[in-house]
Structure 1
Amino acid sequence: MNATPSEPAPDSGRPPAEAGAAAPTAPAPGGPLALLAWADRYFRLTERGSTWSAELRGGLATFFAMSYIVVLNPIILSQAPDATGSFIGGTTASGEGVPMVAAATALVAGLLTIVMGVVGRFPVAIAAGLGLNAVVAFGLASQMTWADAMGIVVIEGVIILILVLTGFRTAVFRAIPGELKVAIGAGIGLFITLIGLVNAGFISRVPDSVGPDGELISSGTVPVQLGPLGGGGELNGWPLLVFVVGVLLTAVLMARRVKGAILIGIVAATVLAVAVQALTGTRPGTEDAYGWQLNVPELPEQIVRLPDLGLLGQFNLLGGYQEVGAVALVLLVFTLMLADFFDTMGTVVGIGREGGLLDAEGNVPNVRAVLGVDSVAAAVGGMASVSSNTAYVESAAGVGEGARTGIANLVTGVLFLLAMFFTPLVEVVPSEAAAPALVVVGFLMLSQIRSIDFSDVGIGIPAFLTVVLMPFTYSIAAGIGAGFVSFVVIRACQGRARDVHPLMWVVAALFVVFFGIEPIQTLLGVG
């Protein structure tokens, strides 16, 4: 790699000169060299210490690390009926809407990732948000129609966009203390490590014991266990071997500073997975506890599949109000908005810090454009009926490969657009082959924690809560909220309330409402 993520290349602002090299000849106006030179300046390629090859590798790594969303988002959205008993897209059976959701998911992810690259010029890709899609499927659609639920997503995105345009979202971003921004990045590192371990089946939740009448008998002695769900707490099966080999291979390649280490690790693990499947015929995890967690890595009989874009435009802005009433609608929008608002903020900070892109105060370059595109993405996701789209923490895999500019987004975005037609090929890469990248990059991001002064309890405890609660609650927003609230409370009790930016008080108060949303709904009679 050009520079390791924890040791970013110097930001000199001009291309490095080799000793004795002649001055470059000015390209002919309108020629390909002139176009490349313009792209270099526009995306700040040389200024950020990157190269075209690093951006290509980074774009590929990001796509492979998050391509699972084309498979997983349809599974989540197509299995939940709405309040009328219908499934997404007007389908009548669980899973029937998978092709439509897959095509729309890839289309929106591709277009918005490209827009983020061109407008935001920041190496973070966009797709349907995990967690947010579950809220839409099981929290919103269960109370109204699918079109009404997607209308709420559109409203949430528009509100966040207004907050960006008024400068509020950017102001909040700048009001966060520097060491809390470091904690956010470190916490995301631990969070994506957990995502990688869970996606690979290396760890899993201990299942509850349920009686014949559905009553809970036991919730287990520990919350998580070694090995996949239903595996009895043991490491076993060929898919886990693929994951372990992928982690070790990627770690060794990075230790030896091999360019393209993360991408090589993903490709090599995928080749191994295909070979293992051909030789062993391992079944999917739904049939065998030690099987493949998401998709089976088999060479497809059909490579090209025409996309079904029938979900585009299936949303209703006012339906949610008619179904649940004004108060409940406001609370639903608030919950979705706050989670989306701070998930993105945490992701952008973490990726920016890992790529050495933050300024001296820990702020992201061109942050207003970055947050603006992300806000538009939330609304567009609702308009396309694929749930709120947001910045993806898996973009850290691309940054780990050397991506520093929006050029990597162009690569990732084009691959998502192609995935609309080549979904069978995307499904070849199992989660066990992509997860090693998340584990290794998680290590790199967690290493940022060394710059936090834990001797100052007023910042150390909030930073600690931010880091640990992201993975323990499986929510970036929850970790940020706990850090913000504890920071404000501790500083006030230390007699240092003046050290707290006024906006931090406002945000902390909003998070108190966020954490107490259930009792508030009960109190208001809308729960």
Structure 2
Amino acid sequence: MQSSQKLKGSFLDSYFGLTENGTNVKREILAGITTFMTMAYILIVNPNILKDAGMDFGGVFTATALATIVSTLIMGLYAKLPFAQAPGMGLNAFFAYTIVIGMGHTWQFALTAAFLEGIIFIALTAFNIREAIINSIPTNIKKSISVGIGLFIAFIGLENAGIVLHPKDGGTILALGNITSGTGLLAIIGVIVTGVLLARNVSGALLLGIIITTLIGLPMGITKLPTGIISAPPSISPVFMKFEWNHIFTADMAIALFTLLFMDMFDTVGTLVGVSTKAGMLDEKGNVPRAKQALLSDAIGTTLGACFGTSTVATFVESASGVAAGGRTGLTAVSTAGMFIIALFLSPLFLMIPAAATAPSLILVGLFMLSPIKEIDLEDFSEAIPAFLTIIIMPLSYSISDGIVFGIVSYVLLKLLTGKQKDITITTYIIAALFVLKFLI
């Protein structure tokens, strides 16, 4: 009681609103570390993907860390929300494999597209256009986004651990992997260990589960001890501010920009809405608190990330793991950013954590994200069908934005065809039309 009274008058409490959000410093820091553990893979995966586009691996590693640190700090200190940001998966693949390899442009051209996207997003956010898009999403679809993200993030965990595979023989789309040995077995052990900790209400269960599973992986030969602990970050100079301005008014730049804008906008919107819904953070109108500040954090992060030398920055769906661990304020994001600062210099230590050790947390976070399904109106089919399509398309298309597309377009069509057009706002009509246009193009 005494410690809670002490916290109540502290700077951290007044700045982040810890007491009013029912949280404390310890819980927020643990939540931030948990988020970091589940998304630290980006430090290796992103440079590996952009290396295929011809970029310097070491430079992109440092650029990835810096972009993550700066954008997540802005999210925590300015938007005061518990969300982490980093170069987005899918966006980095589009950068490397479509713009550079597929369209035949240089990686400098792709970086320029990412930079311009960030500038456009800053303008759209300043004029409240992105915030209006979030607020136009119907309530039942907002709830279904949370559920869809839950299935999506659980699917990512299952895939990372090798429990679910994509067979190369073409027999089935998905198949069960090897769960009697290797990474699949370690992940299943991790689910059991973390599940026991959760059932016993152990504080920091997700983080402890990651650490224990990592240690169990040592005798299994999956966790590899690092040869060193401290290492200076590689030079950023090979990728820093490497823009190419002579093609900015071409059709290819327009296509690249439109696609990046679409993917980033609705991935970020979906993550903000879905995780906020699960955390009970939506206001009385069902809107994300401080959405404008959150979206501006994303826009500034993308702009600065391109300057550092990395692909588009987005709000990470793995933020759900920190929220599941109790994170409710910007202090969670600040803690995550702090861990990435440490990782920049202690990368061998953090990168020893195998994907199979973080997979259990992602799988169980999928469970936590399911609870809003109880609040979805399943009796009115003009509400239930769009909600269901949103939920099911996200994991199956491996895309949050595509799930939102199916949800919004089907919502508008069903409401129109059943005489319930009064339920549709003007903004929702516009968003649905843009979605259809995107697929036609």
Report the TM range for the smaller structure's normalisation. Answer: over 0.9
Q: 1:261 — aligned with what?
A: 205
What's the CA shift for 1:514?
2.0
CA distance in 2, matches of 1:235, 1:23: 45
CA distance in 2, matches of 1:173, 1:317: 33
Runs (4 or more) in structure 1 with deviation over 6 Å come to none
What's the CA shift for 1:302?
1.8
CA distance in 2, matches of 1:22, 1:42: 18
Say if 2:342 is the partner of 1:441.
Answer: no
Percent identity of paired positions between Structure 1 and Structure 2: 37
What's the CA shift for 1:455?
1.2
3-state DSSP class of the match of 2:30? helix
Say if 2:50 is the partner of 1:77.
Answer: yes
Matches within 5 A, 1:189-338: 189-208=150-169, 220-227=170-177, 234-277=178-221, 297-308=223-234, 309-316=236-243, 318-321=245-248, 326-338=250-262
What's the CA shift for 1:370?
0.7
Structure 1 contact 380–388 (Cα < 8 Å) conserved: no
Structure 2 contact 59–309 (Cα < 8 Å) conserved: no
Q: 1:393 — aligned with what?
A: 317
CA distance in 2, matches of 1:466, 1:311: 41
One-letter code aligned to 1:262: L
What's the CA shift for 1:98?
2.1
One-letter code aligned to 2:358: A
What's the CA shift for 1:238?
2.5
TM-score, normalising length from structure 2?
A: 0.95
3-state DSSP class of the match of 1:378? helix
- CA deviation vs aligned residue, 1:45-103 (integer Å, no higher than 9, x gap): 110000111101101100000001001111111123xxxxxx11xxxxxxxx3222112
Instruction: Rate the CA distance shift 1:67–1:317 in 2: closer, same or farther, 3 A.
Output: same
What's the CA shift for 1:270?
0.7
- The match for 2:132 among 152, 161, 171 is 171
Structure 1 contact 149–320 (Cα < 8 Å) conserved: no
Structure 1 contact 151–320 (Cα < 8 Å) conserved: no
3-state DSSP class of the match of 2:345? coil
One-letter code aligned to 1:55: E
Say if 2:68 is the partner of 1:141.
Answer: no
What's the CA shift for 1:125?
0.3
Structure 2 contact 390–406 (Cα < 8 Å) conserved: yes
Structure 1 contact 111–413 (Cα < 8 Å) conserved: yes
Say if 2:73 is the partner of 1:123.
Answer: no
CA distance in 2, matches of 1:476, 1:431: 21
Structure 1 contact 195–438 (Cα < 8 Å) conserved: yes
- The match for 1:184 among 145, 153, 157 is 145
Q: 2:18 — aligned with what?
A: 45
Q: 1:481 — aligned with what?
A: 405
Q: 1:492 — aligned with what?
A: 416
Say if 2:332 is the partner of 1:408.
Answer: yes
CA distance in 1, matches of 2:59, 2:333: 24
What's the CA shift for 1:172?
1.3
Instruction: Rate the CA distance shift 1:402–1:22 in 2: closer, same or farther, 3 A.
Output: closer
CA distance in 2, matches of 1:23, 1:357: 22
Higher-Rg member (1/2)? 1
3-state DSSP class of the match of 2:407? helix
What's the CA shift for 1:378?
1.6
One-letter code aligned to 1:248: I
- The match for 2:435 among 503, 507, 511 is 511
Q: 1:287 — aligned with what?
A: none
Q: For structure 2, list consecutive stretches of 5 or more residues without a partner in the other structure.
A: none
- The match for 1:108 among 44, 54, 67 is 67
3-state DSSP class of the match of 2:286? coil
What number of residue pairs does the alignment pair up? 438
What's the CA shift for 1:255?
1.8
CA distance in 2, matches of 1:499, 1:39: 42
Structure 1 contact 164–371 (Cα < 8 Å) conserved: yes
Q: Which has the higher contact order (CA 8 A, sep 6+)?
A: 2
